[in-house]
Amino acid sequence: MIKTYKFSWKGHSLLLGKRTAIMGILNVTPDSFSDGGRFLKCDNAVIHGEKLAEQGADIIDIGGESTRPFSDMVTAEDEIQRVVPVIEKLAKRISVPISIDTRKAGVAECAIEAGASIINDISSLRHDPDMAGVAAKHNVPVVLMHMHGTPKTMQLLPKYDNLIEEIKEFFENTIDYAEKNGISRSKIIVDPGIGFGKTVEHNLLILSRLDEFTCLDVPIMTGPSRKMFIRKILNDNAAENIKPDHDIVKTGTQAAIAAAVLHGAHIVRVHDVADTYSTLKIIDAIKNL
> What is the rounded average pLDDT of the residues 98-111?
98
Share of the chain above pLDDT 70, in %: 95
Answer yes or no: is pLDDT of 259 > 90.
yes
Q: Tell me the residue type at 279.
A: T
pLDDT at site 168: 98
- For this structure, is 103 an active site residue? no
In sequence order, the 6+-apart residues with CB closer than 8 A to the CB of 51 are none
pLDDT at site 225: 97
pLDDT at site 172: 98
Q: Tell me the residue type at 274.
A: A
Mean pLDDT of the chain: 93
> What is the rounded average pLDDT of the residues 58-81?
90
Share of the chain above pLDDT 90, in %: 85
CA 122 to chain centre: 8
- For this structure, is 232 an active site residue? no
Answer yes or no: is pLDDT of 207 > 80.
yes
> What is the rounded average pLDDT of the residues 175-197?
97
Regarding the domain delimited by 5-287, which CATH topology (the fold level of the hierarchy) does it fall under?
TIM Barrel (3.20.20)
> What is the rounded average pLDDT of the residues 10-33?
90
Rounded Cα distance, 8 and 140, in Å: 9
pLDDT at site 223: 97
* Kind and range of the H or E run holding 76: helix 76-91
Q: Report strand pairing: 5-9 vs 118-121.
A: unpaired
pLDDT at site 34: 53
Answer yes or no: is pLDDT of 238 > 80.
no
- Chain segment 125-173, per-residue pLDDT in tens: 999 999 999 999 999 999 999 998 777 776 878 899 999 999 999 999 9
Q: Tell me the residue type at 163.
A: L
Per the residue annotation, which of 227, 231, 250, 287 is the catalytic one? 227
**Whole-prediction pTM value?**
0.94
Per the residue annotation, which of 89, 168, 226, 269 is the catalytic one? 269
pLDDT band at 183; cut points 50, 70, 90: very high
pLDDT at site 152: 76
> What is the rounded average pLDDT of the residues 108-125?
98
Answer yes or no: is pLDDT of 37 > 60.
no
pLDDT at site 1: 66
Nearest alpha-carbon partner for 226 in 269, 165, 265, 277: 269
* Cβ contact 273:52 at 8 Å: yes
